[in-house]
Amino acid sequence: MHQRSAHRSLLVIGSVALDDIDGPFGFHKDLLGGSASFIARAASYFTKNVSIVAVIGDDFPQKHVDELTELGVDTRGIERQKGETFHWVGRYAPDLATRETLDTKLGVFGSFAPKLGAHQKDAQLVLLGNIDPALQLDVLRQVHAPTLVAADTMNLWINIKRADLEAMIAKIHTIMLNDEEARLLAEEHNLRRAAAKILKMGPTSVIIKRGDAGALLFHGGGVFAAPAMPLTDVKDPTGAGDSFAGGLMGYLAYAGDLSPKTIRTAMIMGSVMGSFAVEQFSVDGLRNLTATKIQHRFDELVELVQFDQVRL
Amino acid sequence: MHQRSAHRSLLVIGSVALDDIDGPFGFHKDLLGGSASFIARAASYFTKNVSIVAVIGDDFPQKHVDELTELGVDTRGIERQKGETFHWVGRYAPDLATRETLDTKLGVFGSFAPKLGAHQKDAQLVLLGNIDPALQLDVLRQVHAPTLVAADTMNLWINIKRADLEAMIAKIHTIMLNDEEARLLAEEHNLRRAAAKILKMGPTSVIIKRGDAGALLFHGGGVFAAPAMPLTDVKDPTGAGDSFAGGLMGYLAYAGDLSPKTIRTAMIMGSVMGSFAVEQFSVDGLRNLTATKIQHRFDELVELVQFDQVRL
């Protein structure tokens, strides 16, 4: 992956967290987590034009920030405040198919007010990671004229902040959510109908993440299904959706255009990065990747769904 | 779809049933059901070289048999016996995602002993629909030298007839099951590992059906993911897997070869026929199809997963 000056700038807003995770592979404490941690790292493999806005407490290991900086990410917008870092405690079922939240300590994240640097307000691509939609709206008021704004969300905000969430969705281009969240937001079980209802809320595209069933993109050009790689080893699904989003937006920044063809390829790059993320704990699956490894997984996905066009 | 003399012969063994189905679209009584009903009808659109072995009671409407005959299916092996037809009563959840069996009346199916006609023993392709694996083994003892035998099964047989089931699987080429059944059979949650364990039981390929997440083919040549069409209208998932199997085997009979490329195309034809089946009750979604309609849905699936091969 050569670096091109044409790369668009990608601004990432999200959480940087410490996670305690219990599950079939044991209990792991103080893992690096948070949406922005996965997004920025996944995107960094496609472009060096990534900057973050996030908040950490005084307990957060500086090495995690330094690592992102070494990957070429602009971390000046990661603000260290007095207090504890956002901390999530969760437990996965033995089959890793479901998880429950055992505890959430907001810490410094409870008073997070994203403040963009002057260099960030001109970002061309903006990814609003899964945080309170009121904060996502705050960010939207600060950016000048982005060509693409995408946002992730979750069931919590659909349940307790629907008005803010709908206001946010009306202002962005792409909303990403998982299948259950899409059903909850649209109050419609059928995914195709749910996507149609969400499109009526204002965005130009809806991406529905379905874990190991892949992801669906609904937009004016129809529907695209990005496959998920069937993996032999899955250790920790945490951050899969964020890594997907980071790969997708990172590739769009790299490609420098937003054509339907490029967006399809970007969905596949998202699937590639999500597949790496779940093979290890925390962001470990996103460490030490190379263009060769990413290309290889991409080619595996090409092969996975390849079939001939036939005429009956 | 022109008829070719090279079409291989397809023998279908399975149930022919009457179903009572309750669900979000109301209660429907005495619907035509059973694995062979869906399989034969789906396959009939690809080849006229399909014959059935099944049993019906004296209450079974002759019109259903006549309709299959009119589609070109050899129905001489549908034996009418004194007694009631196999009758399934089920109820779907409001979202159609799950169903429960309320009653199963075996009727004449309880003493079903598949007996192949002389013309059926030389079948080149054999599809053993989901019935007692002991009966599937009976059929295997009667066929001479089929080039491909595929079988479907269900959790019931895994739970109560595992020995017969494993003996059957060891003798066939392709086993088809859904994801939960694959996990149950292999005692392994990860689908890729589960498929690897099932391949060790003897078959050369394993097809895992995942409903609206598509189907996975695992074989020596690796893995292939057939997408499912995201549908706006889903009325009745009954028979989706059987229609998939019928489309797949029907296309293989039509194509006349068993190359990996042809098998991938056949998986897509399976997905096409499954998608038609769920849009209506009973076999209604498989009525009045044409080569043009089938080609159109096939082309939609091509478009659904189409993306460019890129080099980073």
pLDDT of B197: 98
Give the E-state strand segments of chain A in sequence order.
Answer: 10-13, 17-22, 28-33, 50-56, 78-80, 87-92, 99-105, 125-128, 148-152, 174-178, 205-209, 215-219, 222-226
CB nearest A213 (choices: B210, B291, B295) = B210
Cβ–Cβ under 8 Å, residues A286 and A187: no
pLDDT of B20: 97
Tell whether B146 is covered by a domain.
yes
pLDDT of A281: 96
Residue B2 has pLDDT above 80, yes or no: no
- Contact A230/B95, CB-based, under 8 Å? no
CB nearest A312 (choices: B1, B191, B213) = B1
The letter for the amino acid at B176 is M
Tell whether A310 is covered by a domain.
no
**Buried-state track B76-94, b at ≥16 Cβ within 10 A, e below 16:** ebbeebebbbbbbbbebee
User: pLDDT by residue (tens digit) across B33-58?
Assistant: 999 999 999 999 999 999 999 999 99
Query: In what order do the strands lie in the sheet containing A17-22?
Result: A28-33, A17-22, A87-92, A99-105
Range of the structural domain that residue A260 is part of:
10-305
Note the pTM of the prediction, 2 decimals: 0.96
- Contact B192/A310, CB-based, under 8 Å? no
Cβ–Cβ under 8 Å, residues A219 and A192: no
Strands B215-219 and B205-209: antiparallel
Q: Which chain B residues contact residue A196 at CB under 8 A?
A: 232
Residue B4 has pLDDT above 50, yes or no: no
The whole-number average pLDDT for the span A215-242 is 96
pLDDT band at A3 (very low <50, low <70, confident <90, very high): very low
Q: Residue B231: closest CA among chain A residues belongs to which residue?
A: A192
Angstroms from B141 CA to nearest CA on chain A: 34
Q: Which residues contact B168 (CB under 8 A, 6 or more apart)?
A: B128, B133, B136, B137, B140, B151
Task: Confirm whether the ipTM is greater than 0.90.
Answer: yes
Angstroms from B275 CA to nearest CA on chain A: 14
Cβ–Cβ under 8 Å, residues B216 and B195: yes
Angstroms from B120 CA to nearest CA on chain A: 26
Tell whether B192 is covered by a domain.
yes
Tell whether A312 is covered by a domain.
no
Tell whether A49 is covered by a domain.
yes
Tell whether A66 is covered by a domain.
yes
Task: Find where tokens 């937009």 sit.
Answer: A219
Tell whether B165 is covered by a domain.
yes
The full DSSP string for B242-283 is HHHHHHHHHHHHHH----HHHHHHHHHHHHHHHHHHTTSSTT
Structural domain count, chain A:
1
User: pLDDT by residue (tens digit) across B25-37?
Assistant: 999 999 999 999 9
| Residue A265: DSSP 8-state | H
Q: Which chain B residues contact residue A294 at CB under 8 A?
A: 312
CB nearest A189 (choices: B1, B95, B265) = B95
Mean model confidence pLDDT for chain B: 96
Angstroms from B14 CA to nearest CA on chain A: 27
- Contact B232/A94, CB-based, under 8 Å? no
User: pLDDT by residue (tens digit) across A116-170?
Assistant: 999 999 999 999 999 999 999 999 999 999 999 999 999 999 999 999 999 999 9
- Contact B304/A97, CB-based, under 8 Å? no
pLDDT of A95: 87
- Contact B307/A212, CB-based, under 8 Å? no
pLDDT band at A260 (very low <50, low <70, confident <90, very high): very high
d(CA A244, CA A242): 5
Kindly state the percentage of chain A with pLDDT values over 90. Answer: 95
CATH number, position B245: 3.40.1190.20
Tell whether A311 is covered by a domain.
no
